[in-house]
Amino acid sequence: MSTLSFQTNFNKEHLSQYYKFHSKIYDATRWLFLFGRKGIIKHLKTENIQPNIILEVGCGTGKNLIHLTKQFPKAIIIGMDLSDNMLDIAKEKLKDEPCVFLLNQPFNQEDFLFKGKIDLIVFSYVLTMNKDYNHLIAEVKKTLKKDGHIAIVDFHDSKINIFKKWMQFNHVIMNDELLKSIKNNFQTQSIKIRKGIFPFWSYFSYIGKITLND
């Protein structure tokens, strides 16, 4: 058994196990609380971002990949995920898209073929699942082109501790440290912090680019 040198909030086996069941109900349930996913992809257009090569880390069942193919029909789009159950669903949805490539791996592979060549990296509800998100942010800087962009949508914070505990049980660590770290690492183009339809938590959408000294 191989050991991964990155850290999600739980180990890979635990996370894969979680998605073995949750992949089956993912698309039917997550629209209820994973807000801002379609919005951030639309917002890339407003920000005048026109990528040729896009990577979505933690693409899951491929919902965002579909929106990305529609918005950027000429782009090469790579979807990466460590859960093969989630990717199986994405594969089925995207089988007729010749420019989409799916990779079953975590985002820290030294030998990732497109290192330094990606124009846009998308993280949609992934970073809060990775305790060591600063490691992933460092990987982003190695993977993006010099003028590359990052687009992130994720949980921001909640004032209700019992809700945070429930989210932790579901592999999500929710606090405002993540957004602070992102702002420290990228040149911000746009930030929106919003509440979902339930008042328990807020989520953020962030678009930024690599800073000149990276």
Ligand X SMILES: C[S@@+](CC[C@H](N)C(=O)[O-])C[C@H]1O[C@@H](n2cnc3c(N)ncnc32)[C@H](O)[C@@H]1O
72 binds ligand X (CB under 6 A): no
Query: Which of 54, 55, 63, 143 lies at the binding interface for ligand X (CB under 6 A)?
Result: 63
Is the distance from CB of 82 to CB of 104 less than 8 angstroms? yes
What DSSP character marks residue 79? E
Query: Which of 66, 89, 129, 137 lies at the binding interface for ligand X (CB under 6 A)?
Result: 129
- List the Cα angle 70/130/34 in 5-degree steps: 45
Query: Which of 53, 66, 75, 130 lies at the binding interface for ligand X (CB under 6 A)?
Result: 130
User: Which lies closer to ligand X via its Cβ, residue 109 or residue 189?
Assistant: 109
59 binds ligand X (CB under 6 A): yes
Query: Which of 35, 40, 44, 106 lies at the binding interface for ligand X (CB under 6 A)?
Result: 106
CB of 58 to ligand X, least distance (A): 3
Query: Which of 68, 72, 102, 107 lies at the binding interface for ligand X (CB under 6 A)?
Result: 107
Q: Please compute, for residue 85, the number of CA atoms within 13 A of its CA located in the half-sphere on the CB side.
A: 15
178 binds ligand X (CB under 6 A): no
Query: Which of 44, 55, 78, 86 lies at the binding interface for ligand X (CB under 6 A)?
Result: 86
Burial of 21 (0-12, 13-18, 19+ CB in 10 A): exposed
Chain centroid to CA 13: how far? 19
Which CA distances in Å does 203 have to 165, 175, 191?
A: 17, 10, 11
8 binds ligand X (CB under 6 A): yes
Amino acid (1-letter code) at residue 98: P
66 binds ligand X (CB under 6 A): no
Is the distance from CB of 206 to CB of 188 less than 8 angstroms? yes
Binding residues for ligand X, per CB under 6 A?
6, 8, 15, 19, 30, 34, 37, 57-60, 63-64, 80-83, 86, 106-107, 124-126, 129-130
